[in-house]
Structure 1
Amino acid sequence: MARILDKAAVQPRRRFNPANSFTIRRSPGRSLLATIRLRIPAVNAQPNRVELVATIGVRGVTGIAQILFRIFRDGIEIFNTQQGIESAGSEQNYAVTFQAIDKNVRPGTHVYTVTAENVTANTRADVVGPISFSGLAVKTGV
């Protein structure tokens, strides 16, 4: 059984909308997608884990882009995953969902961010929505 310590969620884009898209920056640049803040109490909060879930709507524009998604806690990378995004044929629009778990986070307020970067030259992928990012901090072993 677990006890909830804190929760946060943002949804900067609620729906798929190619008319309101933006291009994912080419690595080493990054596109910031969403940010949340979670607080871990100083007393009686160990051991704990933070469960993070992100969903990003992406559209392939040219070539087969490899998009590297990263999650940072307080500016330090704690998770990454990569997704290929095609631009021709039947596979052009994607809803990429991934989950990360951050264990035994120290007390205090922590800023979690999710970013995307295109690691493949001469390709393009755009964020077309939706974008959602949520976190749930729980005390484990209760």
Structure 2
Amino acid sequence: MVRILDKAAVQPLRKFNLSRSFTIRRSPGRSRLATIQLRIPVSNAQPNRVELVATVGVKGVTGIAQILFRIFRDRTEIFNTQQGIESAASEQNYAVTFQAIDKNVRSGRHVYTVTAENLTANTRADVVGPISFSGLAVQTTT
């Protein structure tokens, strides 16, 4: 049996939109893409898991950028994944989707943030939309 504890979702960019695009910062800098808050109740919430799903529309501008996506819980990194983004002679527009699971989260309010950073010098990739980020906290059975 699964019991829903909390859920949250944001969609800062609803569709592909070049006029609202922005460049992904070069590492060690990060571009913050979206933030949600979830609450885990004090009682009867263990064991639990938080299921997180993000989708980010990215366009390659120069070179082949390696983009590192990270998810943080309360400023602590809990997940990361990397995606290569080409800019010429092939695909240029990508919808990158990834999922993370955060297990046995302590009670209280938690802020989840998804970020992106470009790991490759002399390349450029832009966020062009859409951006969506959602979280579902559930109590699970042992």
Match of 1:108 in 2: 108
RMSD, aligned α-carbons = 0.8
* Residue range with higher mean Cα deviation, 12-21 or 131-140: 12-21
Match of 2:41 in 1: 41
Q: Secondary structure at the match of 2:19?
A: helix
Q: 1:26-75: CA deviations, max 9, x gaps? A: 00000000000000000000000000000000000000000000000000
Structure 2 alignment gaps of length 5 or more: none
Distance 1:81 1:55 in 2: 12
Q: Secondary structure at the match of 2:61?
A: strand
Distance 1:10 1:17 in 2: 17
Match of 1:22 in 2: 22
Tell me how far 1:90 sits from its aligned partner. Answer: 2.9
Match of 2:66 in 1: 66
Match of 1:134 in 2: 134
Distance 1:99 1:123 in 2: 26
Match of 2:94 in 1: 94
Tell me how far 1:18 sits from its aligned partner. Answer: 1.3
Runs of 4+ residues over 3 Å off in structure 1: none
Structure 1 alignment gaps of length 5 or more: none
TM-score by length of 2: 0.99
Q: Which amino acid aligns with 1:96?
A: V
Percent identity between the two aligned chains: 85
Distance 1:140 1:19 in 2: 43
